[in-house]
Structure 1
Amino acid sequence: MLRPWLRQSPRAARSLVGSQCRQPHSSRFPTLPYNYLKSLPVRNLQTSAAESQDRVPLRKQLKQSAKSLKAEKRQKREEEEASRQKWELTVGVEIHAQLNTENKLFSRAPTSSTDLPNSNVALFDLAFPGSQPEFQIPTLLPALRAAIALNCDIQPVSKFDRKHYFYQDQPAGYQITQYYEPFARNGYIDLFSHDGIAPEDGDRIRIGIKQVQLEQDTAKSQEYPPSTQLLDFNRVSHPLIEIITMPQIHNPATAAACVRKIQSILQSCNAVTTGMELGGLRADVNVSIRQRGEAAGTHQYGGIGGLGQRTEIKNLSSFKAVEDAIIAEKNRQISVLESGGVVEGETRGWTIGSTETRKLRGKEGEVDYRYMPDPDLPPLVIGADLVAELRNTLPTPSDELYQLLMSKEYGLSIEDAKPMVELDDGVRLEYYQDVVDLLRDLQQDQDPKSRGGLARVAGNWVLHELGGLLTKADLSWDPTRVPALSLAQIIDFLQRKRITGPTARQVLAMVFDGDARPIPQLLEEESLLLRPLSREEYIALAEDALGQNPPMVEQIRTKNQLGKLGWFVGQMMRTGEKGRVEAPKADAILRELIFGDSPS
């Protein structure tokens, strides 16, 4: 290895080497042939500096590599998606929802499943020999409310059938359902862009509902590895409705939106008590693909009516699972067909977080289930007067409420209208409408133009200001905590500019925390009413604030950096008497002092 002195420069190194070659016995430098040393590469300082400038830091290299990899994956994904555009996806949805009833469908046992396992069962639930089903009439009412809300035709006469299969969660060896003659047919739901449908479906799409049928639930099984499985029969014969849509969905996002909308409808009409998040609603999806443009009845992959061979994915327990499972199954079927294979009719499963569906069993059909009329249950007869009474007492559909809230009367955006309708089972919406009515009465003496936006202002206070206090305190909605009149009066004082925005929030928090004084009295006793500052007082505060940061004043004046005015407004509000400094007036005075008589 060359010593450090050899790295100084080629000329210096060679002169030193030559000198040492003439003194072969020197102990300071080694004796090396001159021609050998001359042939060695010597690093040039100028070249080294250039190389160091071109060298890319490791962190930057890793960042560039990650960015390139992400771009490659995106391009690959886009290419795969483009190659799959020739395939059309078709989805049908089956939803099983537990009805809001006190008794089971065919026994007088209670439907509660929160007690000890196997404590809410009747002999029929356990299929004891000789026990008979006894249809519980009250279970029909929530089912009818659901079917009417889904725009179905209620059948005057319907019948029960037995669906035969053996599994440990079905003690009788068959399940009672309505297959051939259900109690409701030919319904539909409308999905809109605000429901989360795919952009390809436009602003609105209608999905047909083939039928709604009554059905008994099965037992709940609990596995304990490696080989133990326990059964809880509390859930057996819990009343269900099965909602079967037409195969008219062609996007995974729209399928998830469909399930979400149906759950919302069932909850709004009090047909169910819980949704997917608590296990009260489960979805199965039937998925098939075909080449675009194929005529009905000519499908080459074994489907019916021009649709591809369908597979069913069972027991999806979240909206995201519905979307993800459909995407995974669509991709699987495309891969099978493009590789020359054939899609089999199967029942498949899905695990949250997975990327592929898994086969559970071959798909059963009519013949496998051996459907037959139940000999122990008479036909179910539903009177037109009962249907009419239920139809008249149903709550207003959510879509109509959205339209009302977004109309000129209220003027809310869809982002505010949706939570107003969906939160707290409609109680928050009623509270909001009370606030708006009271506020309009209080503001009758004001200019009609200024009263035009009252409903939007009230919506902001109900949803965000009062809603934020409830969220922070981790409390459920309680309309008595801040009476509607109190909130309307707070907004009225704010609109009249008798209090500032911060003061209004302070008063709302005081009422929320239990202050029961009437709003006018509270404002007077706490000296919270706005006493406007004079022009001279604003100028004094502004000059004091500007004097704290002359460099920033110069930047605003010379570089027109108006965004920095907010800092000075904040200083004026902090140094001024609490609640008296109005931000718009402070901003105007600051501009006048900085820019003179003609502010830019």
Structure 2
Amino acid sequence: MSRVPTAELRRYLLTGHIRCRDCLRARLPRSPGTTASPSRQTRAFASQNATIASIAPSVSAAPVTPLRKQLKEQAKALKASGTKKKRNADNQTVPGWELTVGIEIHAQLNTARKLFSAAATSFNDIPNSNVALFDVAMPGSQPIFQPETLIPAVRAALALNCAIQPVSRFDRKHYFHWDQPAGYQITQYYEPFARDGRITLYARDGIAPEDGDRVDVGIKQVQMEQDTAKTTAQPGEVHWLDFNRVGVPLIEIITLPQIHHPATAAALVRKVQMLLASVDACVSGMEAGGLRADVNVSVRRTEDVATGKLGTRTEIKNLSSFKAVEDAIIAERDRQIAVLEAGGVVEGETRGWSLGSTGTRRLRGKEGEVDYRYMPDPDLGPVVIGDDLVGHLAASMGVLPDPEIDMLIARYGLSAKDALSLMLLDNGARIQYFYRLLDTLDERLGIDSSAELETRSGHRHALLAVNWCLHELGKLTELSADLGMTPEGECKVPSADLAAILYHLHKREITAKVAKDLLWGVFRGDITSGAVSEAINANDLWFQEISEQDYAALADQAVEGEAKVLGEFLRFKQGKAKAYPQGKLMFLVGKMMRTGPEERMDPASAERVMRSRIEEVYLLALEGSK
């Protein structure tokens, strides 16, 4: 094939010049049949680059609606429609029917280059600025496999307990859509690089109660493949295409159809995201679009289970949150059951799901393997993976999530829920922040971080750190779109500054209210890094606790007129109530805190004094009056 002049390639697609590193950059197109002087071309190119630069920030900085807000809007929409939705926890099974689910998870790999070209995989650059000739199917361009993309892929497969295949090959999957310039996608259908994996889900992972304490789900295969262009819908049925994402390396994780409850399906996707983050294989999680899930759903009557034949499956595409996975499976299960109970037939098809929907919607008839016309890619040779590479990656993976969660529970006294939340938040960066925070706090408190903590009282500062990492930092995200958390575990609130705040709080040198004000000040930049103690001094925020006599006087004031509440404590003392009325106690403590100078009161001290006054004064008085 003769060399095509660059000027002809420019007219073919994007009308851009060829960059070094084998990439194209978008330029302003010329009208057909016209020639422009060099100076006019220069002005046109400068104008186009300015236009792209003005558009790009608005595209990349588009506000991201937090999932919590999306869920609130979904709840409002359901309430307005008059539809009463059954709680997912009570909707895991349907009597007389068995649900079967298989999942396909697509995850963007953490690589600097694309799968078959040297173009960069940066997602924050100007649209259509990281596009190689092969990415947009320029005539004569050839794929060149980038070996470095194999590293995160193998690490992911090892984390999923897969067997790495010594030889794998690429195939072409043919379909036509505007986001796939070549008319086919290069994937590994016949000979993937990893097979026969397994993932274990425990009750703490959020599986359905019907699955018991644990469930094992088999992984059929893990294959490498290309991503497609990013499509952004515009008003008036216009779509913008950003080819920066074309050719970005993905892995597709295909599970066996061994999931039978919607909550377990959501737990599996959540666990996979956590595993990929723990071995640094995935760019980002579902909330950022770096991981997407397709679910295959079928139902059959319980009397048909013995035959082993599954029902007709439908596929729900591109689910982008864990809740969407569970909700979409429930909706599609109920739809299929309704069709079959009405005497109908479930059609094999591809369906879609939108946040806030009460049902799935048909997208197209299901494309089978014959429709895709899979064939070995003639331009790519086999991928050979040596045992030495697999052994090195397996030895360098570090601690996987399950052993780490066990350590957090045993060593620091965390609950399973808190440990799991730390592992999941910020795509694994929040747990790194916690470790940084705890190391600094240990150092300030003079605690040997390598020593084993034997009693729960020794965990108090660790539990304090967990609470602030999860809840207080979480409250900041409700007021700001982003904490700016880095993969290394730092954010707009430096871990050293939060450690200083928690040190003074742990030593009871400041109140919780002052600590929260200091946190907000650090986050906004009102308190410079390393100046927490200076800010406390400058504003005279040190805790000066009231005396025991003052606490007792406030307790007496709070108890006035609460004879009925005191009666509950008397009933417990006389054995007429099974549980201590802790809620009533905290009600009285709350009255104390509201009555007294809150900035000089410690809730724990207030609770201790109130409990003592009730048991040593008021209950004796009540018993004496009777």
**TM-score between the two structures when normalised by the length of structure 1:** 0.72
Give the distance between the partners of 1:113 and 1:550, measured in 2 at CA. 61
Give the distance between the partners of 1:507 and 1:225, measured in 2 at CA. 45
Deviations 1:511-566 (A, max 9, x none): 88348469699789959476784xxxx447745885x7895277777886975753
Give the distance between the partners of 2:219 and 2:604, measured in 1 at CA. 60
Structure 2: gaps spanning 5 or more residues: 1-78, 485-490, 571-583
Structure 1 residue corresponding to 2:106, chosen from 96, 115, 118: 96
Matched ranges for 1:170-189 at <5 A = 170-189=180-199
Deviations 1:290-345 (A, max 9, x none): 2224366x5xxxxxx61122222222233233223222322232233333333333
> Residues 555 and 613 of structure 2 are in contact (CA less than 8 Å); yes or no, is this contact kept in structure 1?
no
Structure 1 residues 544 and 149, CA, compared in 2 at 3 Å: closer, same or farther?
closer
Which residue identity does 1:587 align to in structure 2?
M
Residue of structure 2 equivalent to 1:416: 418
> Residues 92 and 286 of structure 1 are in contact (CA less than 8 Å); yes or no, is this contact kept in structure 2?
yes
Structure 1 residues 457 and 103, CA, compared in 2 at 3 Å: closer, same or farther?
closer
Which residue identity does 1:123 align to in structure 2?
L
Give the distance between the partners of 1:437 and 1:544, measured in 2 at CA. 36
1:250 aligns with 2:244: no
Structure 1 residues 378 and 532, CA, compared in 2 at 3 Å: closer, same or farther?
same
Structure 1 residues 380 and 488, CA, compared in 2 at 3 Å: closer, same or farther?
same
Structure 1 residues 384 and 487, CA, compared in 2 at 3 Å: closer, same or farther?
farther
1:566 aligns with 2:589: yes
Structure 1 residues 330 and 212, CA, compared in 2 at 3 Å: closer, same or farther?
same
Give the distance between the partners of 2:506 and 2:247, measured in 1 at CA. 55
Alignment RMSD: 4.3
Structure 1 residues 517 and 111, CA, compared in 2 at 3 Å: closer, same or farther?
closer
Deviates most, 322-331 or 88-97: 322-331
1:428 aligns with 2:433: yes
Structure 2 residue corresponding to 1:288, chosen from 294, 298, 314: 298
> Residues 219 and 256 of structure 2 are in contact (CA less than 8 Å); yes or no, is this contact kept in structure 1?
yes
> Residues 497 and 529 of structure 2 are in contact (CA less than 8 Å); yes or no, is this contact kept in structure 1?
no
Matched ranges for 1:119-158 at <5 A = 119-158=129-168
- How far apart are 1:268 and its partner, in Å? 2.7
1:373 aligns with 2:414: no
Give the distance between the partners of 2:194 and 2:281, measured in 1 at CA. 15
Structure 1 residues 580 and 326, CA, compared in 2 at 3 Å: closer, same or farther?
closer
- How far apart are 1:249 and its partner, in Å? 0.8
Which residue identity does 1:451 align to in structure 2?
G
> Residues 440 and 454 of structure 1 are in contact (CA less than 8 Å); yes or no, is this contact kept in structure 2?
no
- How far apart are 1:258 and its partner, in Å? 1.6
Give the distance between the partners of 1:581 and 1:182, measured in 2 at CA. 59
Q: Residue 552 of structure 1 aligns to a residue in which SS? A: coil
Which residue identity does 1:417 align to in structure 2?
A
Q: Residue 199 of structure 2 aligns to a residue in which SS? A: strand
Q: Quick check: which has more Rg, 1 or 2?
A: 1
Structure 2 residue corresponding to 1:383, chosen from 381, 386, 392: 386
1:552 aligns with 2:561: yes
Structure 1 residues 264 and 578, CA, compared in 2 at 3 Å: closer, same or farther?
closer
Residue of structure 2 equivalent to 1:18: none
Deviations 1:1-45 (A, max 9, x none): xxxxxxxxxxxxxxxxxxxxxxxxxxxxxxxxxxxxxxxxxxxxx
Structure 1 residues 598 and 250, CA, compared in 2 at 3 Å: closer, same or farther?
same
**TM-score between the two structures when normalised by the length of structure 2:** 0.69
Give the distance between the partners of 1:520 and 1:447, measured in 2 at CA. 35
1:587 aligns with 2:610: yes
Residue of structure 2 equivalent to 1:9: none
Residue of structure 2 equivalent to 1:486: 500
- How far apart are 1:158 and its partner, in Å? 0.6
Structure 1 residues 293 and 457, CA, compared in 2 at 3 Å: closer, same or farther?
same
- How far apart are 1:248 and its partner, in Å? 0.5
Matched ranges for 1:57-136 at <5 A = 84-136=94-146
Give the distance between the partners of 1:86 and 1:555, measured in 2 at CA. 51
Which residue identity does 1:163 align to in structure 2?
K
Give the distance between the partners of 1:247 and 1:567, measured in 2 at CA. 53
Give the distance between the partners of 2:360 and 2:595, measured in 1 at CA. 63
Matched residue count: 510
- How far apart are 1:377 and its partner, in Å? 0.6
Residue of structure 1 equivalent to 2:283: 273
Structure 1: gaps spanning 5 or more residues: 1-65, 299-304
Residue of structure 2 equivalent to 1:22: none
